Every structure is written in C-alpha cells, then in structure tokens.
Amino acid sequence: MRDSYHRIHGQVSTAEASWKIADEQQFTDIIYEKAVGEGIAKITINRPERRNAFRPLTVKEMIRAFDDARDDTSIGVIILTGKGTQAFCSGGDQALRTKDGYADPNDTGRLNVLDLQVQIRRLPKPVIAMVAGYAVGGGHVLHMVCDLTIAADNAVFGQTGPKVGSFDGGYGSSIMSRLIGPKKAREMWFLARFYSASEAERMGLVNTVVPLDRLEQETVQWCREILRNSPTAIRILKSALNAVDDGHAGLQELAGNATHIFYRTEEGNEGKTAYMERRPPDFSRFPRLP
C-alpha cells in the first residue's frame, strides 16, 4: 500500500536540510534560519541556560521572525524549537515576572506571549513544534498552539502554573481540552504533573515520538511531505480546522481565504473591472451553480 503510494507520489528525501541564518534583524534571543532551497523556516529559542524560558524580548523576536516567514512566499512550513536537547521551552522567565507581567530590564511588564500564540494560530502556513526536553508552562502552551508536534523520546510535557502562581486560561486551557479531552486537561492543570513523551503520544498531545538523534531529520521529512501538497489546500484546511474553536476570528480567517480565491476568478474580477471602466458590472455569464 505504502509502496504504491510512493510510486505515484515519489519518495520524500531523507537528506539533512542545509540551514542558512536568515537574521537580517540581528536577533539575540532566537536563531532564525531557512533551509536552502526547501521552503522551510526554523525559529529556535536560544536561551538554553534558562531552559529556553522566554522573556518579552524573546517573544518580540519570535513575532518578527514569524512575520518574516509568513511574508516570504518561498516558505511553506515553519519549525519552532529550542536550542539544545534539554528544553523546548520552560515558559515565561520567572526572574522577570512582575505584578504587570514579564518585564525586560527598564521596560513595562507584559504578557506578549499571548500575541505570539494568536499569531501562530492565524498564520496561514503550518507551524511544527520540534520538542526535545522540557515543554512546560508557557512553553507547553506554545507547542499546543502549533499545528503539529514532533517529540524526541526525552521530551517532557506539563503545566506548572498552579505551582508557580500562574495559569493560562486562554488557548492554554481551551486547546488543551480539545486535544486531550476535558478530564485529562483538568488533571494536567490541577495536578501540574509532568508527562513523558510516550504518555503525551497516548494522550494525543503530540503527533509522533522519535529517538532524540532523529528528531530534526523526522521533522524535516514531515515538512517535505507537507510541502509537496497544495499550499492553498493546506492554508484553507488550517483555518477550517481552527474555525469553530476560534469563533468570529476563526470564521474571519476562513472567509478571508474564500475572498483570496474569489479575487483570482473572472467573476470576482468583473466587479472591479467594471468599476474601473465606469460601466455596470455584467455577472450574467457566471453560472448559478446548484
């Protein structure tokens, strides 16, 4: 079965990707790379000495990198990961937590990771979390808002909020409940336990678990499989899969895709052309399909 699939669709290369730094913006807290000739961008949280905890600057840089990857029409998939093998991300940097949220030195406190979560959710390209080590606290929420999660066998998942006096009652709760079910989500939040990669796979938190030394190879292979499929189909499916949960914002995203496609049709163009030519539009040649 798989063999005949490959005969028709071709094998996906298992070669290592060759990464090129895409850091025109001179990042300090992240590494931003693109795979040469591949359509894959990779954003790496680069604070391994803090288990890749994010501070406001880290989040601002991630937002800029995701914006770049969105705007770059050669990019079709984005990988989000953490530097090293000990952590994907350990959430907000607790040393910088103030009564107003997280604050960079001499700056105002904020919870800008919430903006990043929304950005990933609405980004019209798949985002894959590539997780080695701890994905905990706000780092766990980040992997959950990604479209897919590929975990190394050393990955550990959990929410720590109730232990350190915080919680994510937004996507951190609702997406989790959708992913693993309401009972298990309550367990994960109320008890604040940690779960192994294989437990996370059984719970439906991650797509697959691979040996640590094959994590990037496997993730890149998933990217390549996605990239050979229709970008428009992928774009619309992402918004469709999110639409119900995201309410009006989800419908707006989905409907925006319909508008995109409509603009490319003769029928859509007729209205604009007629306006520009100062004549009444003639939609009579377009069928009213059943």
Of 103, 114, 234, 274, the residue at the interface with ligand S0N (CB under 6 A) is 114
Which distant-in-sequence residues (6+ apart) come within 8 Å of 158 by Cβ? 134, 135, 136, 137, 140, 188, 192, 193, 194, 195
With a CB cutoff of 8 Å and minimum separation 6, the contacts of 51 are 86, 87, 89, 90, 133, 134
In terms of CB distance, is 69 or 156 closer to ligand S0N?
A: 156
Among 1, 8, 95, 276, binds ligand S0N (CB under 6 A): 95
- Positive or negative, the CA dihedral 114, 66, 233, 181 is negative
91 near ligand S0N, rule: CB under 6 A: yes
Q: How far is the CB of 187 from ligand S0N (least distance, A)?
A: 18
**Contact region for ligand S0N (CB under 6 A) — 33-41, 111-119, 234-242, 260-268?**
111-119
H runs (alpha helix) in 192-246 = 197-203, 215-227, 231-243
Q: Note whether 140 and 110 are within 8 A (CB).
A: no
**Is residue 56 at the binding interface for ligand S0N, with CB under 6 A as the rule?**
no
In the numeric block, the tokens 């590494």 are attached to 31
x-or-dash string of contact with ligand S0N, 155-194, rule CB under 6 A = -----xx--x-x-x--------------------------
Binding to ligand S0N by residue 80, rule CB under 6 A? no
Instruction: Count CB atoms within 10 A of the CB of residue 28.
Output: 11
The answer to whether the beta carbons of residues 281 and 275 sit under 8 Å apart is: yes
Q: Does 55 bind ligand S0N (CB under 6 A)?
A: no
Residue 172 C-beta: closest distance to ligand S0N, Å: 6
Name the residues that contact ligand S0N, by CB under 6 A.
Answer: 50-51, 53, 86-87, 90-95, 111, 113-114, 134, 136-138, 160-161, 164, 166, 168
